[in-house]
Structure 1
């Protein structure tokens, strides 16, 4: 069937690069398609990423009757990583969801780019860190990890204790729209910053792709409501929301509280 379709188009007017894209759209699992996807990811990294750090976003779904035991085990594991100078791992934030999927915990780790992650992976096997990680497993229903990079215009906030709640917003973008989403959101965020500043914004590079996260901090839910209502009055914000929503396949909002050992509180 493909050969019959191809015969309808003169080969001399179709550049090889265009033919590769056409085939990629059909045979998306091919080696050529995977290589093209890798090139696209690298292109995005050069344009929109702050390349100094790599962030691991770890999501743990915990058994409802094991939450307290999990919290103790998680504190031992993550503070152990943080305090080991050989690993050079920093904690960006550690949170529990109170609105959204319940009994779910989010941990954001900061590595010194890909080489820093490689270094940590070499040192953890067989160590106390591996044993501490294994101690978490009996309390889990499932777990997932993504490797993400910061948007260049919005570095992750340093540790602070301002109190209140955090909102994690997650966007599943349509493939191929990340650059457009970033450009639109970057313009609009200047208007939103006059009211409240995001404390972090990342896009997935490995794991579930085409996913964007940004994290906000508010004094409470009432403050969040007021700030969001006032944002609609700022020039450019309504247009940003409209345009970015057209690029997203799904959107989620989670309200989080920081764990006692989280550097963001």
Structure 2
């Protein structure tokens, strides 16, 4: 008679039931359990960088996002100074970069400015711009003056998801929502696969502005940028997505990939191309 043993199954810390298994049973269940909790490393390993699989070409989709926390009493002066410098950079053909959008946070972190820069030509153009700015007396003076108004600042280099809209200038008035997702390391490909299908449910009302993921800075961070007429239209647009077959599945499969998330409501500055 084949030797038998007991297998105790537990679920969420509670004893479920004890079964007596034969050797053949143990082989079957052992293989079945291994298939649940293990994977073939050679089979699942990827030899492509996530950025090359998910992003548009870096020559067209390299962005920088800046978060500046401004002293409350300096916010108006900060906005005026930034608007002036951004206009000068846009009018100067020697700087192959542009501000895609500039905002102040309305709901979220207060007295905060957010700037989204685009670099046509990828990393070589980014390096070229930085080198030129270091030699510009006007920009260095602006940088010194601006630093007096800031409490803190941080930035990230972003790549653009290949399946998202490209941020293009739009007329207003609009408010913008920047939704930031911090993903579990290793889950970016899965996130991209699901959102490549999910984005089609959110493009009917022209609310999808841009989708990005970090390349330098805090990693495994995703930013989705949306435009709405007002908070009420935001509510109605988001609710309407749940009426479309397939949106619920997209949410179901992407939520487990998230470690934390944040929503900011942004108001464009006077010179922002995204109004």
Q: TM-score, normalised by structure 1?
A: 0.82
Q: Provide the aligned C-alpha RMSD in A.
A: 1.9
Distance 2:85 2:184 in 1: 35
Matches within 5 A, 1:211-230: 211-230=221-240
Q: Look up the SS of the partner of 1:153 in the other structure.
A: coil
- Which residue among 73, 76, 80 is the counterpart of 1:68? 76
Q: Look up the SS of the partner of 1:124 in the other structure.
A: helix
Distance 2:242 2:236 in 1: 10
Q: Look up the SS of the partner of 2:227 in the other structure.
A: strand
Runs of 4+ off more than 6 Å: none
Number of residue equivalences: 229
Distance 1:210 1:153 in 2: 18
Matches within 5 A, 1:1-265: 43-51=49-57, 52-112=60-120, 113-127=122-136, 128-265=138-275
When Rg is computed on C-alpha atoms for both structures, the one with the higher figure is 2
- Write the deviation string for residues 20-77 of structure 1: whole angstroms up to 9, x where unpaired: xxxxxxxxxxxxxxxxxxx98x711211101123101011000111111111121123
Q: TM-score, normalised by structure 2?
A: 0.79
Distance 1:116 1:171 in 2: 28
Higher relative helix content: 1
Q: Return 5+ residue gaps in structure 2 as ranges.
A: 1-40
Distance 2:203 2:244 in 1: 10
Distance 1:204 1:192 in 2: 22
Q: Return 5+ residue gaps in structure 1 as ranges.
A: 1-17, 19-38
